[in-house]
Amino acid sequence: MQAIDPITFSIVRHRLFRIVEEAVITLKQVSGSAITNEGHDLMVSLYRADGSLLMGGVGFLHHLTSASEACKSIIRRFEGDIHPGDLFLLNDPYTAALHTSDIYLIAPIHFEGELVAWSACFIHVFDIGAMTPGGFIPDARDVFNEGFSSPGLKLIDRGRLRQDIWDTILNMVRGPEMVALDLRSMIACNNVAGDRTLALVGKYGVEAFDGVCSALIEQSETKLRRRIAALPDGRWQARQYFDVEGETIQIMATLTKEGDALTFDFTGSSPQSIHPVNCTRWATWGGLFAPLFPLLCHDITWNEGVIRPVTMIAPPGSVVNCERPAPVSVATVAAIQSVNNVAGTLLSKMLVSSPDARGEASAGWHGNHFVIFTFGVNQRGAYSIGVLTESFAGAGGARTFADGIDFGGELPNPISRMANVETTEAELPVRYLYRRRRVDSAGPGFYRGGAGGEFAIVPHDAPTGGIDYVVVGKGTGFPQSDGLAGGMQGGTNAYLHHHRVSGDLASDGTPLPWGTHMLRAGEALYVRWNGGGGFGDPYLRAPELVAADVASGLVSLEAARTCYGVVFGPDETPDLDATMALRADRLSGPTAGGHGSGIALSADGAHCSHCATRIAPAGAPWKSQARLWTRPVASLSGAAASVDARVEMRQFGCPACGTLLDAEIALPGDAYLDDIVKPSGAARAAA
């Protein structure tokens, strides 16, 4: 720490936290919209004079780094023309934004004429003037279909709103008064951040302020590097797939940890798609940090210091680094989310390799954030664009010490929530038939994932007889919430249109391709969403816990038998003898307990964490030495099932005791995910 005295450091740091928090509150209050207030689909951060991240707020976390790049880009583009009282707008995905409808408003903060910091915020605006209302454009074929986009324009010039620009933007969007309010809320948010920062600088002086900022960044970097250095050196792999209109997209990622640095390499990912699922480079960069902040840095200030130890390799022209003018509007719930998922899995695989850090690891949370926007005339005769908020109630992944949380949320946006049924029914001409947790949605494991859910809606009092909606649905073929340490993945999603409201809405019906659809009188829309991934071998879960989940409707009798190896008698209580016998088919050691198994990778080699059998030497691939069971995901019980017969689940087990060490989702022929921890220097020398 430099010359800054610790008292000033402590006071200024607390005030910086408060500034970001107050700016978030301002944004929500002025905006007043459901997606901002319920979904918490927003972000506010402070940046240093050079655009580097100073203090990130708790919001949609993939934006923290992208808004940093947005600041830097404004600094380059407007060099010599940045003045006190200016405010810039940027939403071009090829410059820094994630997609066009997440608009950044960015303001320089000058103290007595000197640029001392930047504030930036985003919300998902009501509309962006694209082909489809609401900002997600499933049918877009290039970025020009996706509404207006600016690589940087000055919206306010030295305190004066540029009315011509303002009018032009509002002239391009549906619901201009709603977009105006969204923009006003972001202006108010930047004003608050600026005023408060200036008061702080005024009290402590530029030098002290800068000193604290440098110290904060240095502190974060030091802490994170120390944390990384304490973990074993190694390499871990993760892979996600999703389908779009018959095209299968693959996101492949390898994490290499060496010393106190991390490298995420996306080599092996699919070429960019014609569909708007692609990540620009900045989107991938933000996407990998979104889970990194909460998983690795919960007690570290989220700033530039966290970014420095991390490197990314993303092949140009791929789905994780697309080239203009590839369409990207759906990326936040497509490839960006897959990047979130692989990064979360990689970090958790790394954390679980260390006995000290494994408590921070987690199986996949809500791997498949889906989007359903409705639009049309509501029961009060008003045109409305609405978002169904259930996807903000995703399920938590299993932890290394507890089950995942049913409807627990998601890591990239840790404080979201869904609207009440009554709120939605008051605003949209629909009626829910049910909304509840879904059987077999949770990934089975020694600790199971949190349960996902299902709902069904019908039109109700719709003046035009129904409502239109956009579905950006994926994850019906490939489960997306990864399991960890032999735990299984959470279930798949389903989006089913019913021409009649009868029978089991969850199993019949027409699967919806993504795109725009109509829900008419007498019809129903059914949606099921994934649970979190499981942790550890489900065969080791205590039968009474499985019975409790069966009793509360979260696990079917069939899944209890096929996934958990628990057999129920005719009185619907577990038959312990039959359970022991079934489990003994695979397990040769103890049939319950332990830590839930999983592969234990260390500098001493790969071991079964249940029976301690050594499976492979350190640094060598271990999966070829393990037992392998492959089964089609489509054959799995209930909601875990897939609509795609090709998709397989590979379960790798201990050759000695049979417990599960790892599970992966794959297409036949794709390579095994390869995880290794490097041998220690001593072990290498001995070898």
Q: Closest Cα partner for 430 from 470, 457, 456? A: 457
Contact stretch for other proteins (CB under 8 A) within 18-26, 100-108, 277-285, 580-588: 18-26
CB of 460 to other proteins, least distance (A): 6
In three-state secondary structure terms, 576 is helix
Helix, strand and coil percent figures for the chain, each rounded to 5: 30, 25, 45
Q: Which is nearer to other proteins, 39 or 108 (CB)?
A: 39
- 169 interacts with other proteins by CB under 8 A: no
Compare residues 341 and 651 and give the one whose CB is closer to other proteins: 341
Say if CB 130 and CB 179 are below 8 A apart: no
Q: Does 32 bind other proteins (CB under 8 A)?
A: yes
With binding defined as CB under 8 A, does residue 355 bind other proteins? no
Contact set for other proteins, span 548-567 (CB under 8 A)? 551-552
486 lies in the binding site for other proteins (CB under 8 A): no
DSSP 205-262: HHHHHHHHHHHHHHHHHHHHHHHHHTSPPEEEEEEEEEEETTEEEEEEEEEEEETTEE
396 binds other proteins (CB under 8 A): yes
CA pseudo-torsion sign 327, 386, 394, 312: positive
Q: Smallest gap, in angstroms, from Cβ of residue 351 to other proteins?
A: 10
Rule CB under 8 A: say whether 437 interacts with other proteins. yes
- In the shown chain, the binding pattern of residues 124 to 153 toward other proteins, with x for contact by CB under 8 A and - for none, equals ------------------------------
CB of 118 to other proteins, least distance (A): 21
Output the six-digit token pair for 491: 């279930």
**Rounded to the nearest 10 degrees, what angle do helices 176-229 and 163-171 cross at?**
100
Contact with other proteins (CB under 8 A): which of 43, 336, 393, 666? Answer: 393
User: Exposed e or buried b for every residue in 626-644, given b needs 16+ CB within 10 A?
Assistant: bbeeeeebbebbbbbbbeb
Where does residue 427 rank: exposed (0-12), middle (13-18), buried (19+ CB within 10 A)?
middle
Q: Do the Cβ atoms of 100 and 330 come closer than 8 Å? A: no
Of 460, 497, 614, 646, which lies in the binding site for other proteins, with binding defined by CB under 8 A? Answer: 460
Q: How far is the CB of 572 from other proteins (least distance, A)?
A: 13
**Segment interacting with other proteins, rule: CB under 8 A, options 326-334, 388-396, 534-542, 623-631:** 388-396
CB of residue 192 to other proteins, shortest distance in Å = 8
Query: How many separate helices (H) and strands (E) can be counted in the chain?
Result: 13, 27
Query: What residues from 621 to 650 belong to the interface with other proteins (CB under 8 A)?
Result: none
33 binds other proteins (CB under 8 A): yes
Binders of other proteins: how many residues, by CB under 8 A? 91
Min separation Cβ 281 and other proteins, Å? 26
371 makes contact with other proteins (CB under 8 A): no
Rule CB under 8 A: say whether 407 interacts with other proteins.
Answer: yes
> Strands 310-313 and 261-265: what pairing?
parallel
Q: Which parts of 263-302 interact with other proteins (CB under 8 A)?
A: 293-295, 297-299, 302
Q: Are 296 and 344 in contact (CB under 8 A)?
A: no
Which residue spans within 218-370 are E strands per DSSP?
Answer: 234-244, 247-258, 261-265, 310-313
Nearest distance in Å: CB 387, other proteins: 13
> Binding to other proteins (CB under 8 A): which residues in 44-73?
58
Cβ proximity to other proteins, 346 vs 615, nearer residue: 346
If one asks whether residue 74 binds other proteins (CB under 8 A), the answer comes out as no
* Residues 177-196 contacting other proteins, CB under 8 A: 177-178, 180-181, 184-185, 187-188, 192
Q: Is the preceding peptide bond at 325 cis, omega within 30 degrees of 0?
A: yes
Compare residues 30 and 320 and give the one whose CB is closer to other proteins. 30
Residue 301 or 338 with smaller CB distance to other proteins: 301
Q: Which is nearer to other proteins, 14 or 684 (CB)?
A: 14
Please pick, from the candidates 88, 264, 392, 478, the single residue that binds other proteins as defined by CB under 8 A: 392
Of 330-338, 384-392, 537-545, 591-599, the segment contacting other proteins by CB under 8 A is 384-392
37 in contact with other proteins (CB under 8 A): yes
Minimum CB separation from other proteins for residue 667, in Å? 30
Binding piece for other proteins, criterion CB under 8 A, among 87-95, 174-182, 600-608, 663-671 = 174-182
Does position 215 interact with other proteins (CB under 8 A)? The reply is yes
User: What does 589-652 look like in DSSP terms, one character per residue?
Assistant: S-SS-TT---EEEETTEEEETTT--EEE-TTS--GGGSEEEEEEGGGSSGGG--S-TT-EEEEE
Q: Does 6 bind other proteins (CB under 8 A)?
A: yes
Containing H/E element for 74? helix 63-77
**Contacts (CB under 8 A) with other proteins, residues 556-615:** none
Which 223-242 residues touch other proteins, going by CB under 8 A? 223
Which member of 415, 581, 628, 671 binds other proteins (CB under 8 A)? 415
CB-CB contact of 45 with 53 (8 Å)? yes
Question: What is the secondary structure of 125-169 as a DSSP string?
Answer: -S--SSSSTTS--TT--SGGGG----S-EEEEETTEE-HHHHHHH
Helix (H) or strand (E) holding 294: helix 281-296
What is the distance, to the nearest Å, from the Cα of residue 582 to the centroid of all Cα atoms in its chain? 37
Tell the smallest beta-carbon distance from residue 657 to other proteins (Å). Answer: 28
Instruction: Tell me the CA distances in angstroms from 488 to 238, 408, 474, 655, one per residue in order.
Output: 14, 18, 19, 19
- Considering the complex, what minimum distance in angstroms separates the CB of residue 385 from other proteins? 10
The answer to whether 470 and 136 are in contact (CB under 8 A) is yes
Q: Residue 168 CB: number of other CB atoms within 10 A?
A: 12
Interface with other proteins (CB under 8 A), residue from 230, 402, 645, 671: 402
Using CB under 8 A as the binding rule, whether residue 501 contacts other proteins is answered as no
CB of 544 to other proteins, least distance (A): 14
CB of 471 to other proteins, least distance (A): 20
For residues 512-551, which are near other proteins according to CB under 8 A? Answer: 551
